[in-house]
Structure 1
Amino acid sequence: MNASPASYRSIFTPGLFGGQVIVVTGGGSGIGRCTAHELASLGAQVVLVGRKPEKLEAVKAEIESAGGKAATQAFDIRHEDAVRDAVRAIVAAHGRVDGLVNNAGGQYITPLADISAKGWEAVIHTNLTGGFLVARECFVQSMRSHGGAIVNIVADIWGSMPNMGHSGAARAGMVSFTETAALEWAANGVRVNAVAPGYIASSGMDHYPPEAGDMLRAMRKTVPAGRFGTEAETSAAIAFLLSPAASFISGSVLRVDGARPQVRMGWPMALPDAQARQRPAVKPYDGFHLAQTPRVFQDK
């Protein structure tokens, strides 16, 4: 692949995933889109998964224009038969699945007392059941025979997840699934880990209602690092866990959150940007050449 200013600037060695087939669910936007770009830039044949073919095709075109290899498979991860058929089609087309990034998910802002059973189940099915189904089928149909690596994307659930209790419950379940799958599938040469993004400046923030804008913009003040993370910082963690460098890591959760869960009452928050003259803040890493600022942060 020819390097150019219009290509992904990964910190990992070129060709790291050469010859590998890696499935990325939720690959049409946000962290999934960024991760797909990085993996493709490192030589992987990426298979983009999502419900909307037009979004997947747009990302596929981006990857191919940068010299990478991408394919699409549109289906709903919440439907067992659809998942089984789609993974079968992926294996038939590409021969095997070497890696899975279980990234698809979503939630909405609502306190527990106002969440209906239907709303609760919708989030659980998307963030837990769907991820389980895709991982199971990738294991059964390919990884059980060939080995592989799975990275489940969870969230900053440590302590609590107020106003998103349905998502917190689902993500906690996915952490437990990650640990169990790591144990049960280890004999087949399969590693299973999770990445827990904290407050990441991603297009996913644009799905929240406009009235949430002030809250979203203020969230960085609760992060000791004093800023939001980037999609590329999350993608780098995913790439590491998929790589041979993590060959003895399984059943673990890698947090990408700027130490936000460590915040405690009684400890003064001294944000790095307020102390820039005294000491430099840790600069964000953003190797994604097509990164987009969420609308909620524009013109602010």
Structure 2
Amino acid sequence: MNDSSHYRSVFSPGLFAGQVILVTGGGSGIGRCTAHELASLGAQVVLAGRNADKLQQVQAEIADAGGKASIQAFDIRQEKAVRAAVADIVAAHGRIEGLVNNAGGQYLTPLAAISAKGWEAVIHTNLTGGFLVARECFVQSMQAHGGAIVNIVADMWGSMPHMGHSGAARAGMVSFTETAALEWAASGVRVNAVAPGYIASSGMDHYPSEAGDMLRAMRDTVPAGRFGNEAETSAAIAFLLSPAASFISGSVLRVDGARPHLRIGQRHRPAHAHLRPRAAVRPFGGFHLAETPRVFRDGGEAND
């Protein structure tokens, strides 16, 4: 955990000063962390999600740290709600310079046990919802003013066993990212994606307790020898939103410790894993409010 009382970003203070950036799924996990970092860099962050109470809590955290955030509670799967929410944001702030399309969710189950309803729910959350929010941000603001979009996908290269519905949706979002980057380039809009690998985030607490052993064992399949953290994912997002990425569009930035390069089923535990991690792969503790997921507190630390 970061010992500071404020976010410790690697980026220059004021990087996003005056910019309005919408972060969906901003009430927890990677979205919460990203909202904190962007606010610490001067952005007016708009926190979006279905749970207003969670959004208000993060809004208060950001205010306590000296940042600016507003909230917009809506369901990204509902087209009319998305259109109305984006209109409200534009009316309140004038425009939307950045979008972090982070909201999503899935559950563990093998393909043979996924119902049509369950499949559609995950597709709507992880693909359709992201498309709707991006489309409305483009149509209502970015088409006229430009902007940058970062879609959050997942480590689905080489398959996503027991999460096939999510893998299909995330692969679709990568294709959407590439197409939107092409179609919206003439309006000065860049569209990229960040693909988090195994990240020790609060999202892991939504899985059933019986999945604990499996979740803890996933670290052994990462060549870097550890889980990533929310701040490392947020840094990738901030970079792609920043002017330093002005010639990057239609790309996917993986934050995964090289895990997809292993063959399926292979376990990898680096020989030096018991040693102190070297600087190049040592965890970055930028988020001052980071918390270890319960699954690791109960059964061993994520990066011990």
Could you tell me whether the CA contact under 8 Å between 1:272 and 1:280 is conserved in 2? no
Instruction: Sort the Cα spacing of 1:280 and 1:39 in 2 relative to 1 into closer, same or farther, 3 A.
Output: closer
Q: Which moved more, 1:260-269 or 1:164-173?
A: 260-269
Task: Identify the residue that residue 50 of structure 2 maps to in structure 1.
Answer: 51
Stretches of structure 1 lacking an aligned partner (at least 5 in a row): none
User: What is the SS of the residue equivalent to 1:274?
Assistant: coil
Amino acid at match of 1:95: G
Alignment deviations for residues 231-252 of structure 1 (CA, whole Å, 9 cap, x no partner): 0000000000000000000000
Residue 172 of structure 1: how far off its partner (Å): 0.3
Which range moves more in the overlay, 65-74 or 266-275?
A: 266-275
Q: Distance in 2 between matches of 1:256 and 1:108?
A: 21
Are positions 1:38 and 2:57 aligned together? Answer: no
Q: TM-score, normalised by structure 2?
A: 0.95
Distance (Å, rounded) in 1 between the aligned partners of 2:49 and 2:227 = 26
Whether contact under 8 Å (2:221, 2:269) holds in the other structure is no
| 1:266 CA drift (Å) | 10
* Cα distance in 1 between the residues matched to 2:222 and 2:168: 23
List per-residue Cα deviations over 1:186-234 (Å, max 9, x = no partner).
Answer: 0000000000000000000000000000000010000000000000000
What is the aligned partner in structure 1 of residue 150 from structure 2?
151
Aligned to 1:197: 196
Which residue pairs with 2:217 in the alignment?
A: 218
- Where do 4+ consecutive residues of structure 1 move more than 6 Å? 265-268, 277-281
Amino acid at match of 2:104: G
Aligned 8 A contact 2:154 2:170 in 1: yes
1:136 alignment partner in structure 2: 135
Q: What pairs up with 1:124-273 in 2 under 5 angstroms?
A: 124-264=123-263, 269-271=268-270, 273=272
Q: For 2:116 and 2:267, how far apart are their aligned partners in 1?
A: 40
Distance 1:175 1:6 in 2: 36
Distance 1:281 1:117, change over 3 A: same
1:281/1:193 CA distance change after superposition, 3 Å: closer
Alignment of 1:60-75 (within 5 A): 60-75=59-74
The superposition leaves residues 45-82 of structure 1 with CA deviations (integer Å, 9 ceiling, x where unpaired) of 00000000000000000000000000000000000000
CA distance change for structure 1 residues 44 and 160 in 2, over 3 Å: closer, same or farther?
Answer: same
CA distance, structure 1, for counterparts of residue 267 and residue 280 of structure 2: 17
Taking structure 1 as reference, are residues 123 and 67 closer, same or farther at Cα in structure 2, changes over 3 Å only? same
Query: Structure 2, unaligned stretches of length 5 or more?
Result: none
Corresponding residue for 1:19? 18
Q: Aligned letter for 1:113?
A: A
Cα root mean square deviation, aligned: 1.7
| TM-score (norm. length: structure 1) | 0.96
Identity of aligned residues (%): 81
Measure the CA separation in 1 of the matches of 2:290 and 2:217. Answer: 21
Find the residue that maps to 1:199 and give its secondary structure.
Answer: coil
Q: Distance in 2 between matches of 1:232 and 1:142?
A: 28
CA distance in 1, matches of 2:219, 2:125: 27
Q: CA deviation at 1:276?
A: 1.9
Question: Match of 1:105?
Answer: 104
For these two proteins, the number of residue pairs brought into alignment is 297
1:5 & 1:268 partners in 2: Cα distance?
36
Whether the aligned pair in 2 keeps the contact of 1:150 and 1:190 (CA below 8 Å) is yes
Partner of 2:116: 117
Per-residue CA deviations over 1:94-141 (Å, capped at 9, x if unaligned) read 110000000000000000000000000000000000000000000000
Q: Is the 8 A contact 1:225 1:281 kept in 2?
A: no
What displacement does 1:264 show?
2.7
